[in-house]
Amino acid sequence: MQLISNWKDALKMSSVQTGGAIAALGIAEQLMPQLQAVLPPVAYGVLGLLVMIARVIAQKKLST
């Protein structure tokens, strides 16, 4: 497996942050089932699209 050259900056990447938010929501939903009524299943699809969009957008915070 080959890591990207700036792997140490991964937490600054919008796509990693959005993916982390999706993971946190999934864990919270398992720990608190009442959240399933608040967050419809389609929300995960929308959040997944946000990860893909965030992955292709240039991020100025990484160029410093």
Distance CA 33, CA 5 (A): 40
13-49 pLDDT, tens digit per residue, is 888 888 898 889 889 888 988 888 888 878 888 888 8
pLDDT of residue 63: 63
Distance CA 62, CA 46 (A): 25
At residue 60's C-alpha, the angle toward residues 57 and 64, to 5°, is: 145
pLDDT of residue 61: 67
Q: pTM here? A: 0.69
Distance CA 33, CA 9 (A): 34
